[in-house]
Amino acid sequence: MVQPTDGGPLRVVPLDEQRFPDWDAFVEGHPQATFFHRAGWARVLNQVFGHEPHYLLAERDGRVEGVLPLARVRSRLFGDALISTPFCVYGGLVAENEATVAALDQAACEHAEALGVDHLEYRHTRRRFPARPARTDLYATFRRPIAPDAESNLLAIPRKQRRMVRQGIKSGLRSDWDADASRFYPIYAGSVHRLGTPVFPRRYFRILKEVFGEDCRILTASKGREPLASVLAFYFRDEVLPYYGGGLPEARKAAAYDFLYWELMRRGCEAGAQIFDFGRSKQGTGAFSFKRNWGFEPEPLAYEYHLVRGRGIPDHNPLNPRYQRAIRWWRRLPLPVANLLGPLVIRSLA
């Protein structure tokens, strides 16, 4: 695809691994880019789940002017989609100008049509294409600046939740960085099972750490020698993003969840981070309320669609009443069985 300009033609081309550094340099420097726009996700999605990456790069005279991370997710249960980006809260088009946005979007729509998918999905933080179908009422994200000192951050937490943090501190909880997911995974797997959600394969977390290195870290809260809660967090520029977390059944009584997220915030503050991104939650859920109780205000996310073969916006989220029976059934599975079957199911729930 070519657009004439004084600086030469704008081309939209598939990303190859030789251009990963150029792609990531653009993402690092663009204010609207996120951790989930990084090129490493193409490797993660393909190696762990077998999803085909279709990353599009817009360039002019060899210089990157825009990026669009896409991966194809095919499922007998949930259809065929081209998504930016599967398993990620944010995605979509990032470009220097609207002409480049239009070029990337046109290339993506044409690609979706050629592949014959049901739909193309952009996980934007705000509407980019008001005329298209969108979901703006399902997910919200929670972001807030981090103060430069720990005490100010603690005082910014509403009183009731701050009391839980202090309870965890006074009870002798401690936090430690983990080199791998050996403590994290059984805690996380048990948590999602209690929610009726399939678990990711263990290798997913191993490959996340391999691909993103020190920008993917695991923090675990313990009482004595017993780990109670654990969280895998991403780091991007000056942001901290707790992403996958869980706790043992006794974690809530011990205030381990509150202590753990406070420790992540405190450590981020001390390392110079300026934004704490609590991630997305579905409106009307316990996680949504938990984040509001921390003083974070929800910001609705805009997931926009270009329909190809699909007749309407997909609704595969667990709040859909048609999935409630399956969720109850999954909760009744023995944990070892759920851990065995979960990775086979989760690849379709992007």
For tokens 């499922």, what's the residue?
Answer: 75
Tokens of 202: 């263990």
Which residues are within 8 A (CB) of 155 and not within 5 positions of it... i.e. 6 or more apart? 162
SS3 sequence, 297-325?
CEEECEEEEEECCCCCCCCCCCCCHHHHH
Q: State how far the alpha carbon of 164 is from the alpha carbons of 160, 161, 188, in Å.
A: 7, 5, 21
Which residues are within 8 A (CB) of 164 and not within 5 positions of it... i.e. 6 or more apart? 255, 258, 259
Task: Rounding to the nearest 10 degrees, give the CA dihedral for residues 74, 282, 339, 47.
Answer: 40
Q: Respond yes or no on whether the N-terminal peptide bond of residue 100 is cis (omega within 30° of 0).
A: no
Run means of pLDDT, 10 residues per run, the chain, 350 residues: 61 96 98 97 97 97 97 90 96 96 98 97 95 93 94 94 95 96 97 93 97 98 96 97 96 95 96 95 90 94 95 75 80 92 88
pLDDT tens string 268-327: 999 999 999 999 999 888 899 999 999 999 999 999 999 999 988 887 666 667 767 888
Q: Where are the alpha helices (DSSP H) in 196-294?
A: 202-212, 256-270, 286-293
Nearest to 125 by CA among 25, 34, 26: 34
